[in-house]
Structure 1
Amino acid sequence: KAEVDTSALQNEAIQLSSASGHADVVKLLLKNPRVDPSEKHNFAIRRASMKGYVEVVKILLDDERVDPSVLNNNAILLASRYGHAEVVKILLTDSRVDPSADNNEAMLWAVENDHSGVLKVLLGDSRVDPSEQNNYAIRRASELGYVECVKMLLQNSRVDPSCRSNNAIKHASENGHVEIVKILLNDPRVDPSACTNYAIRHASENGHVKVVKILLQDSRVDPSVRDNYALRHASKNGHADVVKILLEDSRVD
């Protein structure tokens, strides 16, 4: 009688069942000593982490042959990138997993994709540095308008929202992210007049009337700089509401 080889094709059975989220099948396969869940650089746990299959990840971690830190902590990086907070939590219970690997790439991916739940979990680990790469996280979250991520990052003392010549408020203003601008202005380190009043010049140029109103409430902001750049470019682009507000300021000529 022919015997089924559960480890055939480099243990493809457990890889496919893990990648598809079939926890019961994974359990059954692992009862067979010929099945190796670590095959192909621990593909099973890496793919289950990427897909967010919590139960599969738990089952695989119970097998001592599985190493969730392979390929420079690829499992937690993928779970973070695709927003699977519960998987990230589970992976962090394994001492081999380093959430700060590859210059805090897991945290940076969480921010890039607005996964605030994942970000919260990662920031709870002291190894994760949210100021990595000249405070890229707060700069990027501000640029993209990710309110919850910005709030969370600002709660960490290592984060400096004024980094790179106040890049965060400059690009939040330029892109019309009203709530982000408000939040950043509450931080005394942030200077909305940085780089020759870049914030109001480009908020005006792009027609972000609410941002312009908020910025004008700050005494450091001068809407007349660069030969009234704000007014000229708001006019050029047909932003009548912005033009009206700017003309109400006595400094604008």
Structure 2
Amino acid sequence: MLAAIPVESLSDVRSLKHHLHQTYAVPLFRQVVLQDCEIQDDSASLLSPGDVQLVVRNTFSTTPHAEVQDFLRLVRDGRVSEVEDVLMRFHDPNLPRGLPLDCASESGHLEIVRLLLQAGARISPECLAVASGAGHTEVVGALLEARADPESRREGRFSALLCASNNGHAGVVRTLLEASAAEEGSASLDWAAKLGHLEVVHLLVQAGFGSHEVDGPLDGTRLLSAARGGQVEVASLLLDVGLIRGWGQHALSPASPALQWYADALSEASGHGHIKVVRLLLEAAATAAALDVTGLLWTRLPGTPLIETSETGHVEVVRVLLQAGASPNLTDKDGLLPGAQPPRSVAQHLAGRTALMAGAATDLLDNRGSSALMYAVDGRRKGAARLLLEAGGAMPTEQRYQEALSSVLEAETPSPSGEEDFDLFA
């Protein structure tokens, strides 16, 4: 290769090497410049016209172990000029064990990443994922330009898209999607929905993840995740874009698949006390069929929304559900009624009391043959027992329950396990 370069555009050998790299794609850190058969130092000046020769090395120099570790520290600390000086001495950019590029990528040292790539550093499977998880958008872009695999995984398990989505790095997610990253896209949407990363959810939905064609029947899992995590904005977005198949008030019949997702999401939001999500779901489709369905296939909660929130003590949610028409006289999968389990806190007591005031039956038996009052007696819950009696609960017919009830009501000691007496709320 012959090239004529105006000497006034250069100051020293280093600037010549950069010019050759940028103009002719000659590897920057493999260039050796000779003049009159002598190797020229990078700082050697080029003030007068003349001929120089260029040699491109095919091998790296042998570097002692101590210097290899020193180089890694320079990379980690982001010391750009010193890293460049070492690379100019033909140091292997992959020593030790390919760590320099991984380290620079995770730390977000963009200029060092570019220097290492120019020096021939290999891109490991972890490199793109660690940069994505750390949110370094420009580093991710540089790695993709260097032909990093957008589907590469960290430790063989976590894709770059999942790492970025899990941490809410929307800029990285956008960059990866533009590079056609698709590995673990549905799982990425799950985590983004659960953690409330609204912009990430929007990007993934726009990219087609979560659609029926991609996920088949599991098209309500994101709504369930958002409801469980109390992510009202994400839940609203998922409803707006219509990810739930058959969604709409007219479709929420007992046989509708959408009813299952709706009921499960409402139970999760209610049981965890996420009042804003509960209101959102009720505004979207408040039907009796949905309000009184027990937890179905995809939720760990066995009861209706009212039962779940009565058990966990979220009084305001109980009121909202009752106002929306939830029945206080339905049992859960185990046959238990709202407030049937002895309350463990004042909040749970108030929630159960609210359900009773709305007309919850006090004399219904569960599938074990026990009433709410029997549970209160067995647990020696004085306040709960008095509340149930005042609400019209029938006295147990068995003598042992009558004697136990009298003992509980006459007791002057606090309820077991340090529980406060609920008499002041009766």
TM-score by length of 1: 0.86
Q: In structure 2, what is the Cα distance between the partners aligned to 1:52 and 1:121?
A: 16
Q: Which has the larger radius of gyration?
A: 2
- 1:62-90 deviation per Cα after TM superposition (whole angstroms, max 9, x unaligned): 113x112x3xx221111112111110011
Q: In structure 2, what is the Cα distance between the partners aligned to 1:18 and 1:119?
A: 26
- Using the TM superposition, name which of 176-185 and 109-118 deviates more: 109-118
Does the alignment pair 1:94 with 2:94? Answer: no
Equivalent residue for 1:78, pick from 123, 130, 136: 130
Residue 113 of structure 1 and its aligned partner are, at CA, apart by 1.5
Partner of 2:193: 142
SS at match of 1:138: helix
- Map residues 188-227 of structure 1 onto 2, 5 A cutoff: 188-190=242-244, 191=247, 193-195=259-261, 197-219=263-285, 222-226=290-294
Residue 149 of structure 1 and its aligned partner are, at CA, apart by 0.9
Partner of 1:152: 203
Q: In structure 2, what is the Cα distance between the partners aligned to 1:174 and 1:15?
A: 44
Residue 194 of structure 1 and its aligned partner are, at CA, apart by 2.6
Q: In structure 1, what is the Cα distance between the partners aligned to 2:291 and 2:88?
A: 71
Q: Per the alignment, do residues 200 and 146 of structure 1 end up closer, same or farther by CA in structure 2, a change over 3 Å counting?
A: same
Q: In structure 2, what is the Cα distance between the partners aligned to 1:243 and 1:251?
A: 9
Aligned length: 240
TM-score by length of 2: 0.52
Matched residue type, 1:144: L
Q: Per the alignment, do residues 230 and 158 of structure 1 end up closer, same or farther by CA in structure 2, a change over 3 Å counting?
A: closer
Divergent runs of 4+, >4 A: none
Unpaired runs of 5+ residues, structure 2, are 1-60, 248-257, 296-302, 329-426
Residue 235 of structure 1 and its aligned partner are, at CA, apart by 2.0
Q: In structure 2, what is the Cα distance between the partners aligned to 1:241 and 1:41?
A: 58
- Map residues 46-125 of structure 1 onto 2, 5 A cutoff: 46-64=102-120, 66-68=121-123, 70=124, 73-95=125-147, 97-102=148-153, 105-125=159-179
Q: In structure 2, what is the Cα distance between the partners aligned to 1:74 and 1:249?
A: 51
Partner of 2:374: none
Matched residue type, 1:67: R
Q: In structure 2, what is the Cα distance between the partners aligned to 1:213 and 1:220?
A: 9
Does the alignment pair 1:181 with 2:256? Answer: no
Partner of 1:231: 306
Q: In structure 1, what is the Cα distance between the partners aligned to 2:112 and 2:64?
A: 20
Matched residue type, 2:141: K
Q: In structure 2, what is the Cα distance between the partners aligned to 1:196 and 1:77?
A: 35
Q: In structure 1, what is the Cα distance between the partners aligned to 2:158 and 2:312?
A: 40
SS at match of 2:220: helix
User: Percent of aligned positions with the same letter in both sequences?
Assistant: 28
Q: In structure 1, what is the Cα distance between the partners aligned to 2:286 and 2:241?
A: 14
Residue 200 of structure 1 and its aligned partner are, at CA, apart by 0.6
Kept after mapping to 2: 8 A contact 1:79/1:88:
yes
Matched residue type, 1:77: A
Q: In structure 2, what is the Cα distance between the partners aligned to 1:225 and 1:159?
A: 25
SS at match of 2:84: helix
Kept after mapping to 2: 8 A contact 1:15/1:37:
no
Q: In structure 2, what is the Cα distance between the partners aligned to 1:214 and 1:196?
A: 11
- Name the structure with the higher helix share: 1
Matched residue type, 1:90: A
Matched residue type, 2:222: A
Matched residue type, 2:84: K
Q: Per the alignment, do residues 220 and 194 of structure 1 end up closer, same or farther by CA in structure 2, a change over 3 Å counting?
A: farther
SS at match of 2:304: helix
Q: In structure 2, what is the Cα distance between the partners aligned to 1:246 and 1:196?
A: 14
Equivalent residue for 1:17, pick from 74, 80, 96: 74
Q: In structure 1, what is the Cα distance between the partners aligned to 2:70 and 2:318?
A: 65
Matched residue type, 1:189: L
Kept after mapping to 2: 8 A contact 1:14/1:37:
no
- 1:77-122 deviation per Cα after TM superposition (whole angstroms, max 9, x unaligned): 1111211111001111112x10112477111111112221211111
Query: Which one has more relative contact order, counting CA pairs under 8 Å at least 6 apart?
Result: 1
Kept after mapping to 1: 8 A contact 2:194/2:225:
yes
Matched residue type, 1:120: R
